A and B are shown apart, each in its own frame.
Chain A
Amino acid sequence: MTQKADSTILPTGARSRPTTSSEKVRAALTELGFSAFAIFLALVISALLMVILGYNVALAYQSMFRGAFGSLHGFSQTLLRATPLLFTGFAVAIAFRAGLFNIGAEGQLYWGALACALVALTVEGMPKPIAIGLPLLAAGLAGFLWGAIPGILKAKTGAHEVITSIMLNSIAIFATTHITSRYFKAPGAVDQTERIVAAAVMPQIIPGTGLTAGILLGIAVAALVAWFFGHTALGYDFQAVGRNADAAEYGGVSSKRIQVLAMGFGGIMAGVAGGIVVLSLLNRFVANFSPGYGFTGIAVAVLGRGNPWGVVLAALLFGALDSGGMSMQLFARIPSDLTIVVQGLVIILVAAPAALRAMVRWRKPKVEPVDVA
Chain B
Amino acid sequence: MWLEILAVIFNLRTLNAAIRMSTPIALAAMGGAFSERAGVINIGLEGMLLVGAFAGAVGSYATGSALLGTLLGVAAGAATAAVFSIFTVEFRANHVVAGVGINILALGLTTWLMQVVWRTRGISPAVARVQSIRIPLISDIPVIGQVIGVQSPFVFVMIALIVGGWVLLFRTPLGLRIRMTGEHPEAADTLGINVRFIKHFSVILGGALCGFGGAYLSIGNIGRFSMGMSAGRGFMGLAANIFGQWNPIGGLGASMLFSYADAVQIRLQTMEIALPHQIIQMIPYLLTIVILAGGVVKSRPPAALGNHYRSGGGT
Residues of A with Cβ closer than 8 Å to B?
1-3, 5-6, 8-9, 53, 101, 103, 153, 156-160, 162-164, 166-171, 174-175, 177-178, 181-182, 292, 295-296, 298-299, 302, 335, 337-348, 350-352, 354-355, 358
Bound together, the chains give a CA A162 to CA B44 distance in angstroms of 13
Bound together, the chains give a CA A160 to CA B43 distance in angstroms of 13
Does the CB pair A347–B278 fall under 8 Å? no
- We find that the number of chain B residues with CB closer than 8 angstroms to chain A is 53
Bound together, the chains give a CA A173 to CA B91 distance in angstroms of 34
User: Is B184 part of the binding interface, using a Cβ–Cβ cutoff of 8 Å?
Assistant: no
- Which residues from chain B contact A166 at a C-beta distance below 8 Å? 43, 235, 238-239
Does the CB pair B94–A340 fall under 8 Å? no
Closest chain A residue to B119 by CB distance?
A335
- Which residues from chain B contact A159 at a C-beta distance below 8 Å? 289, 292-294
Interface segment, B95-103, B149-157, B204-212? B95-103
Contact A174:B281 (CB < 8 A) given known A8-B94, A101-B96, A343-B108:
yes
User: Is B232 part of the binding interface, using a Cβ–Cβ cutoff of 8 Å?
Assistant: yes
Bound together, the chains give a CA A292 to CA B105 distance in angstroms of 13
- Which residues from chain B contact A355 at a C-beta distance below 8 Å? 87, 90-91, 93
Contact of B286 among A167, A292, A341, A345 (CB under 8 A): A167
A/B interface sample: 11 pairs, CB < 8 A: A2-B304, A103-B96, A153-B289, A164-B292, A164-B293, A174-B282, A295-B100, A338-B112, A346-B101, A351-B87, A352-B93
Does the CB pair A3–B102 fall under 8 Å? no
Does the CB pair B91–A347 fall under 8 Å? no
Residues of B with Cβ closer than 8 Å to A?
41, 43, 83, 87-88, 90-98, 100-109, 111-112, 115-116, 121, 232, 235, 238-239, 242, 276, 278-279, 281-282, 285-286, 288-289, 292-294, 301, 303-308
Contact of B94 among A3, A53, A296, A341 (CB under 8 A): A3
- Which residues from chain B contact A178 at a C-beta distance below 8 Å? 276, 278-279
Q: Which one of B93, B95, B288 has the greatest number of beta carbons of chain A within 10 Å? A: B93
- Which residues from chain A contact B304 at a C-beta distance below 8 Å? 2
Does the CB pair A337–B87 fall under 8 Å? no
Using A2-B305, A53-B116, A163-B239 as known contacts, list a sample of 6 further A-B pairs with CB atoms less than 8 Å apart, ordered by residue number in A. Answer: A8-B92, A163-B288, A175-B278, A337-B112, A344-B104, A347-B105
Does the CB pair B108–A167 fall under 8 Å? no
Does the CB pair A344–B292 fall under 8 Å? no
Bound together, the chains give a CA A177 to CA B279 distance in angstroms of 10
Contact of A3 among B41, B111, B239, B286 (CB under 8 A): B41
Does the CB pair B94–A6 fall under 8 Å? yes
Counting from the closest, the 8 A-B pairs by CB-CB distance are A3-B306, A344-B105, A340-B108, A347-B101, A352-B93, A348-B101, A352-B91, A355-B91
Does the CB pair B112–A177 fall under 8 Å? no
- Which residues from chain B contact A8 at a C-beta distance below 8 Å? 92-94, 308
